[in-house]
Amino acid sequence: MFVDGLECSNFDREVFEELRAGDLGCVTVTCGFWEDALESLDRVVAWRDLVRANADLVAVATTAAEIEEIQASGRTALLLGFQNSSFLAGRIGYVELFADLGVRVAQLTYNIQNDVGASCYDPVDGGLTRFGREVVEEMNRTGMAVDLSHVGERTSLEAVEHSAVPVAVTHANPASLVPHARNKSDELLKALAARGGVLGVSGYRNISGEYAATADTWAELVARTADLIGIDHVGVGSDLGRKVVADDLRWMRQGRWTRTPQYGAGSAANPGKQPPLPWFPDTRSFPGLAEALARHGFGEKEVAAVMGGNWLRFYHEVLPKRSAKE
């Protein structure tokens, strides 16, 4: 089964059809970046309506078993995720409520310090806050996966340590291979792997550098990452942003917290939306990723682990056993 650990596309029927054409079994979608609790509920409603209207192509999964059932039915399982904890509005009790509503992945911070911890762009990272510790515990209890992709180093290390179950970096790369604030230290990645976590390797240009050149250079990035943390802890996290437009990018980068242009993983010299990767314009190219890994010399089992098996194992360990599906 092919699994994409994180996408931030503006999904519609065409993009869902691309998931099917790429034989995707499961994708974590981004329901929000800066949305508050009410706006996040609105996003959940919009996602439910969108999924209902395309029920022949996709379904929301709330357990690992459901991911497998949905894939077996010839559809793509969607995990509802938020790239921030702003949906909690500072309420510990909302972890459980949003979990009940089907949310299964949440990044502790997006691009700025919040009440849970620091982001990877903050100059000072005081670590996981007292609230943040409770949030991690409650996410563990309710089966919501902790995502550290945009989270700061110390906050991430403390989250790995504090979590009772494996945690994820759904979309980032090793900073020792591609130096970038969004990428992760060897120390963090090794701690994450030691506790059973998974890193979704990303071909997103801004954080994969020269490895973004071809499917084969991306396979090289996967190989070097596997050398670093073990192949059982490497998955795909494309960070694909199909149909994301300039206004979306501005919302992602600036939210409502600043009037100053922010560049996220880009820079003032490289401010715009990155052009699609020629070898990965959309998820129809997923089989090509598997082929590139095979060309690189990965065995059949290794390819299957990286392309989805490792994420599926992670979901079996972290997601609740009980369904929240209708």
**Binding-site size, a copy of itself (CB under 8 A):** 21
Q: How far is the CB of 256 from a copy of itself (least distance, A)?
A: 17
Task: Select from 10, 14, 45, 210 the one that contacts a copy of itself (CB under 8 A).
Answer: 45
Q: Read off the tokens for 78.
A: 């969607």
Task: Select from 130, 256, 321, 322 the one that contacts a copy of itself (CB under 8 A).
Answer: 322
Would you count residue 321 as binding a copy of itself (CB under 8 A)?
no
Coil/strand/helix, residue 233 = helix
Would you count residue 194 as binding a copy of itself (CB under 8 A)?
no
Q: How far is the CB of 66 from a copy of itself (least distance, A)?
A: 15
Q: Are 163 and 122 in contact (CB under 8 A)?
A: no
Q: Are 20 and 76 in contact (CB under 8 A)?
A: yes
Would you count residue 49 as binding a copy of itself (CB under 8 A)?
yes
| Total residue count of the chain as it appears in this document | 326
Dist CA 281 CA 243 (whole Å)? 11
- Residues numbered 75 to 114 that lie near a copy of itself (CB under 8 A) are 89, 91, 93-94, 96-97, 100-102
- Stretch of 2-10, 43-51, 173-181, 296-304 lying at the interface with a copy of itself (CB under 8 A): 43-51
Would you count residue 53 as binding a copy of itself (CB under 8 A)?
no
Dist CA 4 CA 143 (whole Å)? 19
Q: How far is the CB of 30 from a copy of itself (least distance, A)?
A: 19
- Encoded one letter per residue, x for contact with a copy of itself by CB under 8 A and - for no contact, window 198-217 reads --------------------
Q: How far is CA 207 from CA 182, 212, 218, 266, 315, in A?
A: 7, 9, 12, 9, 25
Q: Residue 6: what are its φ and ψ, rounded to 5°?
A: -170, 125
Nearest residue (CB) to a copy of itself, 72 versus 89: 89
User: DSSP per residue over 99-126, as a string?
Assistant: HHTTEEEEES-SSS--SS--BTT-S---
Query: First and final CA of the chain: distance in angstroms?
Result: 24
Q: How far is the CB of 136 from a copy of itself (least distance, A)?
A: 18
Per CB under 8 A, residues contacting a copy of itself are 37-38, 41-42, 44-46, 48-49, 89, 91, 93-94, 96-97, 100-102, 322, 324, 326
